[in-house]
Amino acid sequence: MLALEGVSASHGNGDVIGGISIDVAPGEVGVILGPNGAGKTSTLRAIMGYLQITGGIIRGPDGAMLRGMPPHRIARLGVAYVPEGRGILNSLTVRENLQVGASARRLTGAQTANRIDTVLGTFPALRERLGHSAGLLSGGQQQMLAIGRALMASPRVLLLDEPSLGLAPLVRREISELLLSIKSARNLAVLLVEQDIRLAQRCADFAYVLRRGRLSARFDRSELADRNALRDAYLGHGSATGDGKPSSGSTSWHTTAMPPPGRFAATANKIGR
Amino acid sequence: MDIIASILVPTLIDAIAVLGLYVIAASGRLSAGHAAFFGIGGYASGLVSVHLGLPVPVSLIAGVAFSAICGALFALLADRLTHWFFAVATLALAAMVLGLVSGLDALGGATGLYHIPLWTGMTQAVAGLAAAIALVVWLDASMLGRAMRAVRDSELAARSLAIDPTRVRVIAFAIGAGLAGLAGGLWAHSVGIIKPSDMSLEHSLLYLVYLSIGGVDLWAGALFGTFLLSLLPEIVRFSGQYRLAAFGALLTLVMIVRPAGLVTGREIDRIKSLFRGKRMVDPSETG
Amino acid sequence: MEFAVQQIISGLALGGSYALVALGFVLTFGVLNILNIAHVQTIMIAPMALALLTAAGIPAIVAVPLGLLATVLFGALVFLIGLKPFVTGRGRATYLAPFIASFGISLLVENLVATLLGSDPRSFPITLPNDLWHIGDFEIVPTDMIALGVVALTLVILAMVVNRTNFGRAMRAVAENPDVAAAQGISVAQTVLITVMSASLLGGISGLLFAAESFSEAPFMGLDYGLKGLVVMILGGVTSPIGAVVTGLGLGVVESLTETYVSSVFRDVITFALLFAALILRPQGMFAGSSREARP
């Protein structure tokens, strides 16, 4: 499971996201939507420990408090992250990429080989390319490899940043079907960032819309078909529907270095890494 | 007075060389073998005045010119290397020149070139430093100086301004080498001898230490570093290897704590405001 | 002819040591993206430690591993004190600051050792077999063969570790993309530390080989040999381990032949002149691998 409560984070020069509250239970797929620069990637990176958390609580698998931990420790707690652009290690082979994915768990050589076999069951196309350099794969194959690598460590939470980026429509459909199957088969809590609303509509259980670093709205699966509501949430008109966390006015997070008074005054301590 | 001169003159001369290093750094390069050009200038000036019998000022100019040309050639050759590896190349150059000079009997081999006419006294050293400072001040304010800094900060941006980074870096390096050559020439005519150990690796590293600790962004930093680190140990009677070990430790510390060196823009502004008396009040500051 | 072959074998032994130095730089530069000049001092520490230990009566067979251990610890110390402060994201006024700092550390170490142990060269404390081995028509210097053997063994072990172990993969992952590596559960800090220590071990081995080959060692030998190692690294393509090995071996052979047939006084001059010639002809190095040279 993955739960964020009132999370704000910064790169070191003022908060880029604030007041983020997200809840994903095992077996659910949550999507973060929003215009460019809204803070979607930053949210995932904050969960993974790449940003400085300036406020709020992040709960991971087994209720572990993730705030303040470095990325590799968060990975070892069962959170897997597929970054934007896939993050394939081009200087390694396909097999080696998969082996590296198991680093979060101390597996023996045989256990790792077994894991690879299992993962290849979900991604059969990779089997013939095990010895190839990972940089030679096509975009779609790389995406499969990236997700496969993330699954090597048997994670409980899966974070994906724009998995459909740059991929053909057919591949996008494969990805949404893949996500649907693994979320239930492995009881994963999946949180993805997407620009492709149709992909979101296909596989998400709910969606959060981010705008200028803050939550603008939350939509249940059924509400996702409402284009007008979505557009309003993107553009920031009106309040949220359903379970919504209303947007808090027009504070522009990218120009304000100081958080609004009151909310974060108590939690001003900076987390060093 | 003589004792003071014997300590001050080498320091003044070193300051000229370090100003040369400053110019090179302003274009974004690190020269870790700078003493090689000190030596090249010294040997060239020495040879010209000894074998051609020309008056010292002329041979000094010859030394400067020769150093600058060597510098330009080297910088052109090594231009494609990124900063770290350029520095390694300067080390290789210094080692090569050192080896060459030590091995050639025509240059006096390991013992060096003797009987160089004496010429450099306190006045000449001060004049030399003043000339170097004038050059650097002019450079800082000139288009070339601005181009150098543009290249240092971002090669890409500089290109978009129609500045050719290679040309700028080569010119900067040539100027820096020329200044070091001037220093070497002044030195040769100060003690009458120039030997390979005058352009040792140690020397090059000392220049680096002076500039890095003194302040790499301003020519005043070059002077400050040279004077502070040359004269202080004399007062405290720090000698030989202790001094170098201490400098090494100090350099590391300064790089961690204050990477731009001791003298930065803020210090200069503070000093300037002291001279101006009351601080100019910023109109946007209210009550 | 036989004599030439002898020189070539000698050259390969020497070049192998250069290759080890260059590999140490390649490894650390790969994971850290900082060129650490202080690494050259790992060449000096082991022979010096060896001299001290044998003078204290410790037998060579114990002193050699101890000397290498001292080198590894030295490397770790230098990294933790002198380089790590730069890696944990402090604002950098000059991104050359860590590089300059490494000069400072190098200066400190060699002068400290010189102050404590005296700056004069001393002879290598282990007596090696001197009699030439006769293989067919060839007369081989045993030190050369031992050196070649040590180098070969080290390279094989290194290749196995880098290519077949978890740690090797972790190291390559960190070198390519530290953020992605961290997301896989790899501790970047730990990986870098162990890489630095491995590089120091390589430096220590090469230092012992250099000292054995020339029968002498001195506190200032670090930069002399280390500079050649750096040259090999550049010519080999900076990030390419294979480039480092091949170029190193090549340089050793060239040096050996130059010393014998051209001039021994100007051997180093010619070596560096060749570097500049190579730079003119092929600025990207002999083995243009990935051109990821600098990440400011």
pLDDT of C185 higher than 90: yes
Decide if C274 touches B, using CB distance below 8 A. no
B280, HSE (Cβ side, Cα atoms, 13 Å): 9
**CB distance A105–C185 less than 8 Å?**
yes
Look at residue B44 in the predicted model and tell me its pLDDT.
94
Place of tokens 């819309």: A209
Over residues C214-237, mean pLDDT: 88
Among the partner-chain residues B83, B85, B251, the one whose CB lies closest to the CB of C103 is B251
Residue A81 · residue C162 · CB < 8 Å? no
Residue A47, sorted as left (phi over 0), alpha (psi -120 to 50) or beta, turns out to be alpha
For residue B247, which residues of chain C lie inside 8 Å, CB to CB? 104, 107
Burial A6-31 (b: 16+ CB within 10 A, else e): ebbbbeeeebbbbbbebbbebebbbb
**Three-state SS at A106:** coil
Q: Which two tokens stand for residue B153?
A: 């900060």
**CB distance C92–B81 less than 8 Å?**
no
**CB distance A92–C170 less than 8 Å?**
no
- ipTM of this model? 0.87
Find chains touching chain C: ≥3 CB pairs under 8 Å: A, B
Residues C90-128: tens digit of each pLDDT: 444 456 888 899 999 999 999 989 888 887 888 877 777
* Residue C132 binned pLDDT confidence (cut-offs 50, 70, 90): confident
For residue C35, which residues of chain B lie inside 8 Å, CB to CB? 84-85, 88
Look at residue A237 in the predicted model and tell me its pLDDT.
66
Distance of residue A101 Cα from the nearest chain C Cα, in angstroms: 5
Mean pLDDT by runs of 10 across the 273 residues of chain A is 90 86 91 88 93 91 90 94 92 94 88 90 88 90 93 93 89 86 83 88 88 87 77 66 40 36 32 25
Burial B210-246 (b: 16+ CB within 10 A, else e): bbbbbbbbbbbbbbbbbbebbeeeeeeeeeebebbbb
Look at residue A251 in the predicted model and tell me its pLDDT.
35
Distance of residue B151 Cα from the nearest chain C Cα, in angstroms: 14
CB within 8 A of C153, min separation 6: which ones?
none
Look at residue C266 in the predicted model and tell me its pLDDT.
85
**CB distance A89–C170 less than 8 Å?**
no
Select from B116, B250, B252 the least CA-distant residue to B186. Answer: B116
Could you give the CA distance from residue A177 to residue B167 in angstroms, rounded to a whole number? Answer: 57
For residue B208, which residues of chain C lie inside 8 Å, CB to CB? 100, 103
Could you give the CA distance from residue B226 to residue B213 in angstroms, rounded to a whole number? Answer: 9
Tell me what the pLDDT averaged over chain C comes to: 86
**CB distance B99–C86 less than 8 Å?**
no
For residue B99, which residues of chain C lie inside 8 Å, CB to CB? 266, 268-269, 272
Look at residue B237 in the predicted model and tell me its pLDDT.
64
**CB distance C230–B91 less than 8 Å?**
yes
Over residues C263-268, mean pLDDT: 82
Q: Which fold has domain C2-281?
A: ABC transporter involved in vitamin B12 uptake, BtuC (1.10.3470)
Nearest-Å Rg of the Cα atoms of chain C is 19
Decide if A84 touches C, using CB distance below 8 A. no
**CB distance A87–C182 less than 8 Å?**
no
Among the partner-chain residues B89, B241, B250, the one whose CB lies closest to the CB of C119 is B241
Give the containing element (helix H, strand E) for A58.
strand A52-59
| Closest chain A residue to C164, measured at CA | A96
Place of tokens 């630095």: C196
**CB distance C234–B32 less than 8 Å?**
no
Over residues C70-88, mean pLDDT: 86
Decide if A83 touches C, using CB distance below 8 A. yes
Decide if C119 touches B, using CB distance below 8 A. yes
| Closest chain C residue to A150, measured at CA | C184
Distance of residue C227 Cα from the nearest chain A Cα, in angstroms: 28
Look at residue C217 in the predicted model and tell me its pLDDT.
84
For residue A10, which residues of chain C lie inside 8 Å, CB to CB? none
Could you give the CA distance from residue B48 to residue B58 in angstroms, rounded to a whole number? Answer: 9
Find chains touching chain A: ≥3 CB pairs under 8 Å: C
Task: Enumerate residue ranges in chain B where pLDDT < 50.
Answer: 282, 284-287
**CB distance B30–C114 less than 8 Å?**
no
Distance of residue B182 Cα from the nearest chain C Cα, in angstroms: 25
Q: Which two tokens stand for residue A205?
A: 């259980």
Could you give the CA distance from residue C34 to residue C36 in angstroms, rounded to a whole number? Answer: 6
Distance of residue A234 Cα from the nearest chain C Cα, in angstroms: 30
Q: Which of B27, B31, B88, B218 to mutate: most C Cβ within 10 Å?
A: B88
CB within 8 A of A68, min separation 6: which ones?
A53, A271, A273
**CB distance B100–C266 less than 8 Å?**
yes
Q: Are B and A touching by the rule of 3+ CB pairs within 8 Å?
A: no
How far, in Å, are A44, C182, C200 from residue C186 at the CA level? 19, 5, 22
Among the partner-chain residues C170, C175, C179, the one whose CB lies closest to the CB of A103 is C170
**CB distance C176–A48 less than 8 Å?**
no
Among the partner-chain residues A72, A96, A149, the one whose CB lies closest to the CB of C182 is A72
| Closest chain A residue to C87, measured at CA | A273
| Closest chain A residue to C171, measured at CA | A100
Distance of residue B165 Cα from the nearest chain C Cα, in angstroms: 17
Look at residue B273 in the predicted model and tell me its pLDDT.
78
Place of tokens 């709960």: A59
How many A×C Cβ pairs under 8 Å?
A: 67
**CB distance C182–A71 less than 8 Å?**
yes
Among the partner-chain residues A71, A72, A92, the one whose CB lies closest to the CB of C169 is A92
Could you give the CA distance from residue C122 to residue C278 in angstroms, rounded to a whole number? Answer: 35
Reported pTM: 0.85
Question: Could you tell me the domains of chain A?
Answer: 2-267 (3.40.50.300)
Q: Are C and B touching by the rule of 3+ CB pairs within 8 Å?
A: yes
Select from C105, C118, C59, C48 the least CA-distant residue to C78. Answer: C105
Give φ, ψ of B226 to 5 degrees.
-65, -50
Q: What amino acid is encoded at B60 in this protein?
A: L
For residue A89, which residues of chain C lie inside 8 Å, CB to CB? 172-173, 176-177, 180-181
Give the containing element (helix H, strand E) for A208.
strand A206-211
**CB distance B85–C238 less than 8 Å?**
yes
Give the containing element (helix H, strand E) for A3.
strand A2-10
**CB distance A76–C185 less than 8 Å?**
yes
Residues 204-223 of A with CB under 8 A from C: none
**CB distance B85–C234 less than 8 Å?**
yes
Look at residue B277 in the predicted model and tell me its pLDDT.
63
Look at residue C71 in the predicted model and tell me its pLDDT.
95
Distance of residue B51 Cα from the nearest chain C Cα, in angstroms: 25
